[in-house]
Amino acid sequence: MRSSNGQGFTLVELMLVVVLMGITTMFGLSSYYRFMNDARLNSGGKALAGWLDQMRRMAIQNSKTCTVQINPASSTLELVTDPTLGNCDFQNPPRPFTFNLQEQVGQGEIVQLCARLMNPGEEFTPCSSAAPGSTITVQYTPRGTTPDNALIELRSAKQSHNRCIAVLSPLGLIRLGRVLNNRCDWSSAW
Protein backbone atom coordinates (compact mmCIF):
# COMPACT_ATOMS: atom_id res chain seq x y z
CA MET A 1 0.00 0.00 0.00
CA ARG A 2 1.39 3.45 -1.05
CA SER A 3 0.82 6.62 0.85
CA SER A 4 0.70 10.02 -0.75
CA ASN A 5 3.22 12.44 0.72
CA GLY A 6 1.50 15.54 -0.68
CA GLN A 7 4.17 16.18 -3.30
CA GLY A 8 3.31 19.00 -5.74
CA PHE A 9 1.17 22.11 -5.45
CA THR A 10 -2.50 22.46 -4.78
CA LEU A 11 -4.77 24.42 -7.08
CA VAL A 12 -5.15 27.17 -4.43
CA GLU A 13 -1.37 27.60 -4.15
CA LEU A 14 -0.99 27.86 -7.94
CA MET A 15 -3.79 30.44 -8.17
CA LEU A 16 -2.21 32.48 -5.38
CA VAL A 17 1.13 32.55 -7.23
CA VAL A 18 -0.58 33.64 -10.47
CA VAL A 19 -2.47 36.45 -8.68
CA LEU A 20 0.73 37.69 -6.99
CA MET A 21 2.59 37.67 -10.32
CA GLY A 22 -0.24 39.66 -11.92
CA ILE A 23 -0.19 42.30 -9.16
CA THR A 24 3.60 42.61 -9.38
CA THR A 25 3.43 42.97 -13.17
CA MET A 26 0.72 45.62 -12.90
CA PHE A 27 2.85 47.78 -10.57
CA GLY A 28 5.93 47.23 -12.69
CA LEU A 29 4.19 48.30 -15.91
CA SER A 30 2.68 51.33 -14.22
CA SER A 31 6.12 52.46 -13.06
CA TYR A 32 7.58 51.78 -16.50
CA TYR A 33 4.94 53.90 -18.29
CA ARG A 34 5.37 56.72 -15.79
CA PHE A 35 9.15 56.61 -16.35
CA MET A 36 8.73 56.63 -20.15
CA ASN A 37 6.33 59.61 -20.03
CA ASP A 38 8.77 61.48 -17.81
CA ALA A 39 11.64 60.68 -20.18
CA ARG A 40 9.64 61.93 -23.20
CA LEU A 41 8.77 65.17 -21.40
CA ASN A 42 12.45 65.66 -20.47
CA SER A 43 13.54 64.95 -24.02
CA GLY A 44 11.04 67.41 -25.49
CA GLY A 45 12.05 70.12 -23.00
CA LYS A 46 15.76 69.68 -23.64
CA ALA A 47 15.19 69.70 -27.40
CA LEU A 48 13.18 72.93 -27.09
CA ALA A 49 15.91 74.56 -24.97
CA GLY A 50 18.54 73.42 -27.48
CA TRP A 51 16.55 74.86 -30.39
CA LEU A 52 16.22 78.22 -28.60
CA ASP A 53 19.95 78.24 -27.90
CA GLN A 54 20.64 77.45 -31.56
CA MET A 55 18.59 80.54 -32.57
CA ARG A 56 20.60 82.64 -30.10
CA ARG A 57 23.91 81.37 -31.50
CA MET A 58 22.65 81.98 -35.02
CA ALA A 59 21.96 85.64 -34.17
CA ILE A 60 25.51 86.00 -32.81
CA GLN A 61 27.23 84.21 -35.69
CA ASN A 62 25.42 86.17 -38.38
CA SER A 63 25.24 89.53 -36.56
CA LYS A 64 21.49 89.68 -37.18
CA THR A 65 18.48 90.08 -34.97
CA CYS A 66 16.57 86.79 -34.73
CA THR A 67 12.98 86.71 -33.57
CA VAL A 68 11.32 83.53 -32.35
CA GLN A 69 7.54 83.36 -32.25
CA ILE A 70 6.14 81.01 -29.59
CA ASN A 71 2.62 79.78 -30.32
CA PRO A 72 1.20 77.85 -27.34
CA ALA A 73 -2.03 76.92 -29.17
CA SER A 74 -0.12 74.83 -31.73
CA SER A 75 2.80 73.98 -29.40
CA THR A 76 5.28 75.38 -31.92
CA LEU A 77 8.18 77.81 -31.99
CA GLU A 78 9.05 79.43 -35.27
CA LEU A 79 11.93 81.55 -36.47
CA VAL A 80 10.56 84.76 -38.01
CA THR A 81 12.28 85.38 -41.34
CA ASP A 82 11.32 88.85 -42.51
CA PRO A 83 14.07 90.58 -44.51
CA THR A 84 12.22 93.91 -44.26
CA LEU A 85 12.74 93.83 -40.50
CA GLY A 86 16.35 92.68 -40.76
CA ASN A 87 15.42 89.45 -39.02
CA CYS A 88 17.51 86.43 -39.90
CA ASP A 89 17.47 87.09 -43.65
CA PHE A 90 20.12 84.50 -44.48
CA GLN A 91 21.08 83.21 -47.90
CA ASN A 92 21.31 79.62 -46.59
CA PRO A 93 19.21 79.59 -43.43
CA PRO A 94 19.61 76.74 -40.97
CA ARG A 95 16.93 74.12 -40.69
CA PRO A 96 14.50 73.62 -39.12
CA PHE A 97 12.76 76.99 -38.95
CA THR A 98 9.99 75.52 -36.80
CA PHE A 99 10.15 73.50 -33.60
CA ASN A 100 7.05 71.35 -33.06
CA LEU A 101 6.79 70.06 -29.49
CA GLN A 102 4.30 67.28 -30.31
CA GLU A 103 6.67 65.85 -32.92
CA GLN A 104 9.53 65.90 -30.40
CA VAL A 105 7.55 64.19 -27.64
CA GLY A 106 5.72 61.76 -29.93
CA GLN A 107 4.15 58.42 -29.07
CA GLY A 108 0.68 59.87 -28.47
CA GLU A 109 1.83 61.96 -25.51
CA ILE A 110 -0.09 65.23 -25.41
CA VAL A 111 2.07 68.02 -24.02
CA GLN A 112 0.69 71.52 -23.67
CA LEU A 113 2.95 74.50 -24.05
CA CYS A 114 2.31 77.66 -22.04
CA ALA A 115 4.41 80.78 -22.57
CA ARG A 116 4.45 84.32 -21.25
CA LEU A 117 6.73 87.30 -21.01
CA MET A 118 7.83 88.34 -17.54
CA ASN A 119 8.97 91.62 -16.03
CA PRO A 120 12.69 91.62 -15.13
CA GLY A 121 12.08 91.67 -11.36
CA GLU A 122 9.08 89.32 -11.39
CA GLU A 123 9.46 85.88 -9.85
CA PHE A 124 9.20 82.97 -12.25
CA THR A 125 6.08 80.96 -11.45
CA PRO A 126 4.23 78.48 -13.64
CA CYS A 127 1.25 79.46 -15.76
CA SER A 128 -1.80 79.67 -13.55
CA SER A 129 -4.53 78.44 -15.86
CA ALA A 130 -5.06 75.53 -18.19
CA ALA A 131 -5.34 77.96 -21.13
CA PRO A 132 -2.21 77.95 -23.28
CA GLY A 133 -1.99 81.75 -23.47
CA SER A 134 -1.35 84.00 -26.41
CA THR A 135 1.48 83.99 -28.93
CA ILE A 136 4.63 85.75 -27.74
CA THR A 137 7.94 86.63 -29.36
CA VAL A 138 11.46 86.36 -28.03
CA GLN A 139 14.04 88.47 -29.82
CA TYR A 140 17.76 87.76 -29.85
CA THR A 141 20.01 90.70 -30.75
CA PRO A 142 23.20 90.31 -32.80
CA ARG A 143 25.05 90.02 -29.46
CA GLY A 144 22.80 87.14 -28.35
CA THR A 145 21.05 89.21 -25.71
CA THR A 146 17.31 89.54 -25.27
CA PRO A 147 15.31 92.45 -23.84
CA ASP A 148 12.61 90.26 -22.28
CA ASN A 149 12.33 87.46 -19.77
CA ALA A 150 10.17 84.63 -21.07
CA LEU A 151 8.81 81.58 -19.27
CA ILE A 152 7.81 78.45 -21.15
CA GLU A 153 6.05 75.65 -19.34
CA LEU A 154 5.59 72.12 -20.66
CA ARG A 155 2.54 70.42 -19.17
CA SER A 156 1.54 66.80 -19.45
CA ALA A 157 -1.63 65.27 -18.06
CA LYS A 158 0.36 62.12 -17.31
CA GLN A 159 3.02 63.86 -15.20
CA SER A 160 2.90 65.39 -11.76
CA HIS A 161 6.14 67.32 -12.30
CA ASN A 162 5.92 69.47 -15.40
CA ARG A 163 8.89 71.40 -16.81
CA CYS A 164 9.89 75.10 -16.95
CA ILE A 165 12.19 76.76 -19.44
CA ALA A 166 13.19 80.37 -18.88
CA VAL A 167 14.86 82.74 -21.33
CA LEU A 168 16.60 85.30 -19.14
CA SER A 169 17.33 88.89 -20.05
CA PRO A 170 19.66 90.55 -20.64
CA LEU A 171 22.07 87.74 -21.63
CA GLY A 172 19.51 85.48 -23.33
CA LEU A 173 20.57 82.50 -21.26
CA ILE A 174 18.25 79.50 -21.00
CA ARG A 175 17.41 77.86 -17.70
CA LEU A 176 15.70 74.49 -17.17
CA GLY A 177 13.67 73.45 -14.15
CA ARG A 178 10.75 71.43 -12.81
CA VAL A 179 7.41 72.65 -11.57
CA LEU A 180 7.26 71.74 -7.87
CA ASN A 181 4.64 73.11 -5.47
CA ASN A 182 3.33 75.52 -8.12
CA ARG A 183 6.76 77.11 -8.63
CA CYS A 184 9.61 76.61 -11.03
CA ASP A 185 12.35 74.85 -9.11
CA TRP A 186 15.62 75.58 -10.88
CA SER A 187 17.71 73.46 -8.51
CA SER A 188 16.18 70.07 -9.32
CA ALA A 189 17.73 68.05 -12.10
CA TRP A 190 15.73 66.98 -15.11
H or E stretch including 179?
A: strand 173-180
CA triplet 74, 100, 173: central angle to 5 degrees? 105
Residue 115 makes CB contacts below 8 A (sequence gap 6+) with: 70, 72, 132, 133, 136, 150, 151, 152, 153
pLDDT at 75: 87
pLDDT at 13: 92
Which residues of the chain are modeled with pLDDT < 50? Answer: none
**Burial label, 88 (beta-carbon count in 10 A; 0-12, 13-18, 19+):** buried
Residue of 155, 62, 158 lying closest to 101 (CA atoms):
155
Residue of 167, 157, 155, 161 lying closest to 127 (CA atoms):
155
Give 34-54 pLDDT, tens digit per residue.
Answer: 888 888 888 888 999 999 999
Residues facing 168 on adjacent strands: 173
> What is the 3-state composition of the chain as percent helix, strand, coil, each rounded to the nearest 5?
30, 30, 40
Q: Are 176 and 165 contacting, i.e. CB atoms less than 8 angstroms apart?
A: yes
